[in-house]
Amino acid sequence: MLDYRAGKDLLINKTILVTGAGDGIGKAAAIEFAKFGATVILLGKTVKKLENVYDIIVNAGYPTPAIVPLDLKGATEQHYKDMADTIAEQFGHLDGLLHNASQLGALGPFEHIDLTSLEDIMKVNVTAQVLLTKALLPIMRKAPSGSIIFTSSGVGRQGKAYWGPYAFSKFATEGMMQVLAHECDGTSIRVNSINPGATRTEMRAKAYPGEDPMSLKAAEDIMPTYLFLMGEDSVNTNGAQLNAQ
């Protein structure tokens, strides 16, 4: 999908929430969505990083974003409900949701999987996505058309030795996408997943410490697929598993 070219007004008047918007792929996606006209809600853990993305967007003259500091590990169902109420009050509806934040955890043999780490990863990578989606669906139904994007991984489509809980969580993400996409068939909401592919970020460097980061695509390079799924060109795409590279 690297050759998709979006019209410059693709996301005008759209409100889009991006999780993990402070760094890596989420940061690039938030800035890209704003560049194409969207008002972006920046959700993430580290406030300083979110403020930096906010400044980049405002200084570029794009629509003023909103910041939601939230640690997905500790968030409760009530946090998500309150957030949905605030978005409804401020924006009326939500057009797009990019589930991007994830934790890698420790990689290693199956027998070394640690229960606490397993539960933490499933909470951030799976449970948080369920609760956030559940809370936001009612305000996404109010949008003329809504797009939900889940972020997968190569190891969420084909299991690989030593990838442990991170891989399990990505299979769960693909399953969640398919269940929800099927439920949304024929409605105004479409639900799809993206495998970003090897991308130069902190997470990738942690997984492959010996790799030359400059041999990888930058997060900015893989944005065409994100734009395609967020904009109206994908209005008939539902339940698809796309690759960004």
Please state the closest distance from residue 11 (CB atom) to ligand NDP, in A: 20
* CA atoms of 147 and 192, how far apart (whole Å): 8
Is 11 or 29 the residue whose CB approaches ligand NDP more closely? 29
Catalytic (active-site) positions = 166
Please state the closest distance from residue 92 (CB atom) to ligand NDP, in A: 25
**DSSP-based helix, strand, coil % in the chain, nearest 5:** 50, 15, 35
| Closest residue by Cα to residue 230 from 199, 197, 201, 190 | 190
Residues that bind ligand NDP (CB under 6 A): 20, 22-26, 44-46, 49, 71-73, 100-103, 124, 151, 153, 196, 198-199, 201-204
Which residue is at the shortest CB distance from ligand NDP?
24
Is 143 or 147 the residue whose CB approaches ligand NDP more closely? 147
Structural contact between residues 166 and 105, judged by C-beta atoms closer than 8 angstroms: yes
Is 120 or 233 the residue whose CB approaches ligand NDP more closely? 120
Tokens in use for 240?
A: 């698809």
In whole angstroms, what separates CA 136 from the centre of its chain?
Answer: 14
Q: Show the CA angle centred on residue 101, arms to residues 99 and 104, nearest 5°.
A: 130
Please state the closest distance from residue 13 (CB atom) to ligand NDP, in A: 26
